[in-house]
Structure 1
Amino acid sequence: MTTAPAIDIRGLTVIRGKQEVLHSIDLQVSAGSVTGLLGPSGCGKTTLMRAIVGTQIVKSGDVRVLGDQAGTPALRRRVGYVTQSPSVYGDLTVSRNVQYFGSLYGKSGADVRAAIDAVGLTRYADQISADLSGGQIGRVSLACALVADPDLLVLDEPTVGLDPVLRVELWERFADLAKGGTTLLISSHVMDEADHCAELILMRDGFLLAQITPDELRAKTRCERLEDAFLELIRTSPVGGEIS
């Protein structure tokens, strides 16, 4: 029995102003996986994620998420999205922020505490969010998404500004979520995080360069370091197209 992909995108094209920023993207993301969306800043990662969660106007193409059209009301309780800019209430404590979002999904106090603990903010639970550092506020946003226990979690560069120890802990948490059946799509411009992913979606200038595993990328480019492998992929791929 073949499991349907959690995300299925066909021919996605997005135009902003007069510029085409995504060029006929085709990709599928397996259910229950950790998939990395990688590429330099400005390559279209955030636009692609916005199309997946249904907040981006598209010119053409089909985007299906968990079997439904992206952005449909049926997905509101099934998809979590953490943006690069934290979405929290600065005048509320960490606990109150997470409790508020948890209440929208009927979650208990235990669920709220578990989400806060998962992002390493237990000792700051009663602190006003506006008094936290930028990295800590980003973790509050992540906890607000985790508390809903979504089937799909879309994270836009969630580890930016975090110390190395916490980054490792978060990736371990992401792996545990995937083992429990959650699908995670995580963007980053840091190639050393790619080894935490089962599969990689590599982008540049609005084009999909490749959808590939870390080991396959190393084998294809004969580069051990993933950053070197990505640069080699760019050099050997045709302009405006996916590598063969």
Structure 2
Amino acid sequence: MSQAEATRAPVAGAAALPVIWAEGLSKSFGAFTAVDGISFQVEAGEIFGFLGANGAGKTTAMRMLCGLLTPTGGAATVAGFDVRREPEAIKRRIGYMSQKFSLYEDLTVRENIRFYGGVYGLRTAAIRAKTGELLGRLGLATERDTLVGSLPLGWKQKLAFSVALLHDPAVVFLDEPTGGVDPITRRQFWDLIYETAARGVTVFITTHYLDEAEYCDRVSIMVDGRLDALGTPAGLKQQFGAATMNDVFLHLARGAKNRE
């Protein structure tokens, strides 16, 4: 257990309203229902694991919450904005890191930060200040003029995560952020996640590493578009009589129809 993990505590003054709220949220593509009436909420500063096998519907659900897809049914808000009526407002209040590396490899570290700072609407002075702060925190000050494509994968992932937080979003969506990195780098990445949540930022994360589900405050598991389980890792293991979250996941996923 890392120091950041051991010292995590509820965020003081957390907002009374959930940062993410969904009720009966659905999405169909023709006759196929990808997301089938899911309901849940996520609080400020919470690390929320969003799990499911390939084809379970979690990517579609995440895209609706990010304002990229319009729901077929139900309702949801993110950072207080409605996913149907206010998708552009949601995009300004969230950060997003995809499972595929999202920075420009033919730009330097500093150029990537400056570019995304502009995309997020930050002023030049704010970008300059945040660049120095970010590089110092990551230990990349001497690499500011290095092409991102030449950095080790672990550093790329940590840089991409930090850039997703550049504009101080209320919630950051992480889509399998630790894929392909070594175990030590994965733990270092989770230290960044804990530090982020401790500042009151909600972290909504998908992962195929079931041991990482143990690090979340709460976990949901989607099966065939439905939310079949929701609770703390300890609570879910007790509910399903399982020793690990991997056992819980396998118990639920065995009956899935939409498996790849």
- Shorter chain as denominator, the TM-score bin is 0.7 to 0.9
State the shift of 1:134 in Å. Answer: 5.3
Contact 2:53 2:253 (8 Å CA) reproduced: no
Cα gap change, 1:42 to 1:233, in 2 (>3 Å): closer
Residue 130 of structure 2 is aligned to residue 111 of structure 1: yes
- CA distance in structure 2 between the partners assigned to 1:46 and 1:9 by the alignment: 15
Please give the alpha-carbon distance, in whole angstroms, between the structure 2 residues aligned to 1:172 and 1:134. Answer: 17
Contact 1:198 1:214 in 2 (8 A): yes
Structure 2 residue corresponding to 1:193, chosen from 206, 212, 222: 212
Residues 216 and 88 of structure 1, relative CA distance in 2, 3 Å threshold = same
Aligned to 1:224: 243
Aligned residues: 238
Give a deviation string over 1:67-96, Cα, whole Å, max 9, x none: 111253333332111122333223211221
Is there any run of 5+ residues in structure 1 with no aligned partner, and where?
Answer: none
Residues of 1 paired with 2:221 and 2:107: CA distance? 38
Report the residue type matching 2:249 in the other structure: F
Q: Contact (CA 8 Å) 2:153, 2:181: kept in 1 or not?
A: no
Mapping 1:151-162, distance limit 5 Å: 151-162=170-181
Unaligned runs of 5+ in 2: 1-13
Q: Which residue of 1 aligns with 2:39?
A: 26
Partner of 2:99: 84
SS state at 1:196 partner: coil
Partners of 2:140 and 2:24 in 1: CA distance: 41
Counterpart among 166, 183, 206 of residue 185 in structure 2: 166
Q: 116-125 or 103-112, which moves further after superposition?
A: 116-125
C-alpha distance in 2, partners of 1:156/1:198?
17
Question: CA shift at 1:131, angstroms?
Answer: 3.5
Please name the residue that 2:144 is paired with: 125
Relative to the length of structure 1, the TM-score reads 0.86
Partner of residue 55, structure 1: 68
Query: TM-score, normalization: structure 2?
Result: 0.81
Which residue does 1:94 correspond to in 2? 109
> Quick one: percent identity of the two aligned structures?
34
Contact 1:194–1:214 (CA under 8 A) maintained in structure 2:
yes
* Distance in 2, Cα, partners of 1:76 & 1:13: 20
Identify the range of structure 1 (104-113 vs 219-228) with the bigger mean alpha-carbon deviation.
Answer: 104-113
C-alpha RMSD of the superposition: 2.5
8 Å contact from structure 1 (residues 118, 173) kept in 2: no
Q: Given that residues 22 and 48 in structure 1 are in contact (C-alpha distance below 8 angstroms), is that contact kept between their aligned partners in structure 2?
A: yes
Code of the aligned partner of 1:205: D
